Amino acid sequence: MSDTRRLTIREAYAEASSFLRQRGVREPEANAQRLLEHLLGESRSGLLIRWAEPFPQEREADWQQLLARKASGEPVQYMIGEQEFYGLPFAVTPAVLIPRPETELLVEAVVTLGRQLWDPAAARQDASPAVCDVGTGSGAIAVSFAAQCPAWRVLASDISRDALEVAEANAARNGMGGRIAFYEGDLLVPYIERGIRLDAVVSNPPYIPEADEAGLQPEVRLYEPRTALYGGADGLVLYRRLASQLAELPAVPALVGFEVGQGQAAEVKRLLEQAADWDDVRIIPDLGGIERHVVAYRKPS
């Protein structure tokens, strides 16, 4: 009797995991689980509660389709349309880079340092600093700043109109719609043109050297937006432009924080040191020990 042979949800998960593994998908279990949650409209715990139930037959065709897409390399985040970042949900579309966990460390570093620099109790400086996220993409960094630091005035910009639409939707979704001013434009140009004074410039710009394209994971190379990935021939083009644009702002910001690619930190630090005077320029490693962020700051005088 075919009915008794129907798979449970747990068995469907196990079968999907081994299928994805055979097809060379990394983290097959985690991918199978996220896709199953998405298919069945369940949270992680909701799925576990239904573990022993029969897999719903009417979802079988959709399930096979999702697994085929995943097996061909599509990032699960684009398939389910979502990625969590710094504890908040973000919609992602192929117009934006999928926010990465290492970028959470940049948010963390800037929030910690910014709170020290602009401590309202110390009352030594503007207690509502203007903090901008250049190349905001999904809005992950900007929305996290707004959520973490109610006193900050957050600005966010991107050269991509499509990305800005995603970022604005993510701000609204997380209750930060009124907290962030969005600008369309290239790097710091929107702020320079309007003469906007910025206290902090933060960016996770595209930094992959074009020459490294062939070596990228297909999931990244074939699906994520080119504009968000490549930083010119050596990957450093956007840092050079950002560093030189700092001087065109009404005042050099007191804090600059950049995410960088592997092997780029020392050169980005040098670019920043050349561009302005700082009290300190720090290089911060990620959890894998790779020098991942460069943060420069001046204490209020």
Residues that bind ligand GLN (CB under 6 A): 97, 99, 103, 135-138, 140-141, 204-206, 228
- Rounded CA gap, 88 and 212, in Å? 32
Nearer to ligand GLN, 77 or 138 (CB): 138
C-beta of residue 237 within 8 angstroms of C-beta of residue 292 = no
174 known member of a binding site: no
139 known member of a binding site: yes
Nearer to ligand GLN, 55 or 78 (CB): 78
Least CB distance to ligand GLN at residue 81 (A) = 15
C-alpha angle 129-89-228 in degrees, rounded to nearest 5:
70
- Rounded CA gap, 112 and 106, in Å? 10
Least CB distance to ligand GLN at residue 238 (A) = 9
Least CB distance to ligand GLN at residue 28 (A) = 25
Least CB distance to ligand GLN at residue 224 (A) = 8
206 known member of a binding site: yes
> What six digits make up the tokens of 166?
């995603």
Q: Which residue is nearest to ligand GLN (CB)?
A: 137
Least CB distance to ligand GLN at residue 140 (A) = 5
261 known member of a binding site: no
- Rounded CA gap, 3 and 254, in Å? 67
204 known member of a binding site: yes
- Rounded CA gap, 74 and 219, in Å? 6
- Rounded CA gap, 170 and 55, in Å? 33
Closest CA relative to residue 135, chosen from 186, 101, 84: 186
Nearer to ligand GLN, 138 or 264 (CB): 138
- Rounded CA gap, 140 and 61, in Å? 34
Residues making up the annotated binding site are: 135-139, 158, 204-207
Residues making up the annotated binding site for substrate are: 204-207
Residues making up the annotated binding site for S-adenosyl-L-methionine are: 135-139, 158, 204
